[in-house]
Amino acid sequence: MRKICVGILFGGCSAEYCVSINSAKGIVGAINKNIFKVVLFGINRYGTWYVLNSIDEFVYKNNFENNNIFHFDNIQKGVVLFPGFPRKFMKINDIVCFYQLDIVFPVTHGMLGEDGTLQGFLQILGVPYVGSGVLSSAICMNKNMTKCFLRDIGLMVSPSFSLSYSELNNISFDSVVKRIGLPFLVKPVNQGSSLGISKVISQNNFYQSLVNAFNFDSEILLERFIHGMEITCAVLGNKNNLCISFCGEIVLLSDDFYSYNIKYIDNKNVKIIIPARINDNINNRIQDICEKIFLSLNFYEMIRVDLFLTADEEIVINEINTLPGFSADSLYPKLWKKSNLSYTDLITRVIKLALERFYGRDSKKFSF
């Protein structure tokens, strides 16, 4: 049997560009080379696609503060994508088709990669891909829409309201406190990885927190801060065959919310405990909630659900990640490693699930 040709798609115009690169590096290093042939497609910050021989072809400096870490210029020619079977890709200057892809594995975290935009583009082209579809991806990228969905299926979320940039001068600190209490979080509506999030504890940092969030999005969310244990749980599978991971506990050793800085820059101040220090009853409740979420919005292959457990044992859903971080050190692979599913086998599993979903019975033509 021939190897399955997988296009790893990474980079993009999102503020989570660097996170995407690390996910791609992890997958390329761990994927089973006996089963898969890998083709790398990098997207620069301006949206230009490149085909690469290796991720290390471009400059990499391990500093997440630098906006120019990754350079695709003068590496390879751009590519053209042709819709429909057999899903050919072509170098612009060569006028020669190359690579027949069986499936794309996007790790394009954030806007234009995780919000349904890319998923719709791949569907128009008829290219199979790993991960959830247009609707579920779009809803979960938007924090306000996510809350509406979760409330509609009877789950608890933190009280909040959204604010557009045009309303900035009409909002006051006192009106927010009256509505959702203090402290509260200010978040960009359409960002992941905790980018642009601030905790407001007094009027002193109120306005600057709004400005900071608006630097990332034209709409922001003001949300009551939840005091409680921060829990994360992974789901793997499709409708008829779901697996739910052990719950993981996120313990912050310094700050009191899981910020971008703690996640990716100064991660010495966080400890991940798997399984979480909760009793079996609570663990089962959380797993049941994660299954309900997955089935209610028709997710595909994988999601990670982040939530809070309060002192009163209330479960408050924080967010749903349709393309969770996928480096070896990311939460999603760590949760499955504790369930004896290795990083390499996890990669194989999500690709196999996506092929089965797209090809149905014809997926048996692929060798695993």
Q: Any known ligand binding at 313? A: no
**Beta strand 4-11 pairing with 103-106:** parallel
Q: How many helices (H) and strands (E) does the chain have?
A: 10, 18
- The whole-angstrom separation of Cα 327 and Cα 324 is 9
Whose CA is closest to 202, among 181, 183, 187? 183
Active-site residue identified among 193, 209, 259, 327:
193
Q: Any known ligand binding at 319? A: yes
Catalytic residue status for 249 = no
Q: Are 317 and 296 in contact (CB under 8 A)?
A: no
Burial tier of 228 (Cβ tally within 10 Å: 0-12, 13-18, 19+):
middle
Using alpha carbons, list the distances in angstroms from residue 97 to 72, 82, 127: 21, 9, 16
Active-site residue identified among 16, 223, 249, 301:
16
Contacts within 8 Å (CB) and 24+ apart, 338-343: 338/245, 338/246, 338/248, 338/274, 338/275, 339/243, 339/245, 339/246, 341/236, 343/26, 343/30
Catalytic residue status for 259 = no
Residues facing 43 on adjacent strands: 11, 49
Using alpha carbons, list the distances in angstroms from residue 4 to 1, 29, 35, 163: 9, 16, 6, 46
Whose CA is closest to 353, among 245, 242, 259, 258? 242
**Identity (one letter) of the amino acid at 364?**
K
Catalytic residue status for 166 = no
Q: What is the DSSP letter of 78?
A: B
Active-site residue identified among 136, 245, 259, 330:
330
Q: Are 311 and 227 in contact (CB under 8 A)?
A: yes
Q: Any known ligand binding at 167? A: no
Give the residue numbers marked as catalytic: 16, 193, 330
Q: Which residues are annotated as a binding site?
A: 306, 319, 321
Q: Which residues are annotated as a binding site for Mg(2+)?
A: 306, 319, 321
